């Protein structure tokens, strides 16, 4: 493990964020974030994600460090199981029934337990990707983006409701993840495509009406990692009175602004949990 000038050990953590068109490495020291570096990779036209990942793991300067923790954040379809009904042996067949894109030949499942929400969020990762990562990092921990969001929004919901019901949404990579809580219970969660942009108002208003939320009383709270927060607000403001743009610094005020600016919210929630 690297040593500082005053001969004190400094622990480092590596987070790998996987998405459909590429991946990113985020490396930081776990004490004060005085060291924070990231590398973004896009999959080339004639490459596959596995080839690009293998190349990056071989040649990335960040991979020359030693890391105390390895976290892999996966952008994939998910499904949730009530904690009281969770059985580890049932995860794979359950996910096969609920996810139409699941292929047992090429995919495998993992799960994150969310005790505060009393659910287990089941995610999906390609077997070849997991094999490549596990070979380099045998002790890695898998996290689904949706599990990170459910945990973060659940904490935000319980801190202050001010008598309003809230619908939460996270916009990222041409998708929005939408969820709603009542009391301490998760009542709704789903993901929708945001292209074409008319999808945003259509699905938000559909969920809003389905849940019986009031357009003049209840609140729409959203986080944006696409750089289109103002456009999202403009799309929905003709229909909803209370719209709140939840900035990442509202969730974690201890992280430096440079990190908050350039890091997706789902990863910020992970840094907050493990700093």
pLDDT at 254: 72
pLDDT at 103: 94
pLDDT at 170: 97
pLDDT at 259: 78
CA 93 to chain centre: 24
- What are the mean pLDDT values of the chain's consecutive 10-residue runs (275 residues total)? 44 93 92 86 92 96 92 95 94 91 94 94 97 97 96 85 85 95 91 95 98 94 94 96 89 74 88 65
pLDDT at 236: 97
Q: Give me the torsion for CA of 87, 92, 97, 98, rounded to 10°.
A: 80
Angstrom distances, CA of residue 227 to CA of 86, 174, 175:
38, 11, 13
Dist CA 57 CA 93 (whole Å): 32
> Which residue is listed with tokens 């047992």?
104
User: What's the full length of the chain, in residues?
Assistant: 275
Sign of dihedral through CA atoms 155, 163, 80, 233? Answer: negative
For the chain, list the domains and their CATH numbers: 149-251 (3.30.420.260)
Residue 150 and residue 179 in contact, taking contact as beta carbons nearer than 8 Å: yes
Q: What token pair was written down for 199? A: 């999808």
Dist CA 130 CA 132 (whole Å): 5
């Amino acid at each position: 493990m690297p040593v500082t000038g005053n001969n004190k050990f400094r622990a480092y953590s590596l987070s790998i964020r996987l998405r459909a068109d590429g991946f990113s490495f985020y490396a930081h020291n776990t004490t004060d974030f005085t060291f924070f570096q990231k590398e973004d990779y896009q999959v080339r036209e004639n490459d596959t994600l596995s080839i690009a990942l293998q190349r990056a793991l071989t040649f990335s300067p960040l991979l020359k460090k030693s890391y105390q923790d390895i976290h892999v954040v996966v952008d994939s379809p998910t499904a949730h199981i009530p904690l009281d009904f969770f059985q580890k042996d049932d995860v794979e067949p359950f996910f096969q029934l609920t996810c139409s894109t699941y292929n047992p030949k090429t995919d495998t499942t993992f799960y994150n337990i969310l005790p505060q929400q009393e659910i287990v969020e089941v995610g999906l990762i390609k077997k070849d990707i997991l094999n490549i990562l596990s070979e380099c990092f045998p002790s890695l921990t898998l996290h689904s983006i949706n599990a990170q969001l459910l945990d973060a929004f659940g904490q935000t919901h319980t801190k202050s409701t001010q008598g309003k019901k809230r619908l939460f949404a996270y916009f990222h990579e041409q998708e929005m993840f939408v969820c709603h809580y009542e009391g301490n219970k998760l009542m709704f969660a789903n993901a929708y495509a945001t292209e074409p942009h008319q999808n945003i108002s259509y699905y938000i208003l559909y969920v809003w009406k389905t849940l019986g939320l009031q357009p003049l009383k209840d609140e729409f709270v959203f986080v944006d990692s696409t750089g289109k927060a103002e456009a999202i607000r403009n799309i929905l403001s003709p229909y909803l009175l209370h719209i709140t743009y939840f900035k990442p610094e509202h969730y974690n005020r201890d992280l430096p602004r440079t990190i908050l600016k350039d890091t997706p919210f789902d990863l910020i929630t992970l840094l907050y949990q493990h700093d």
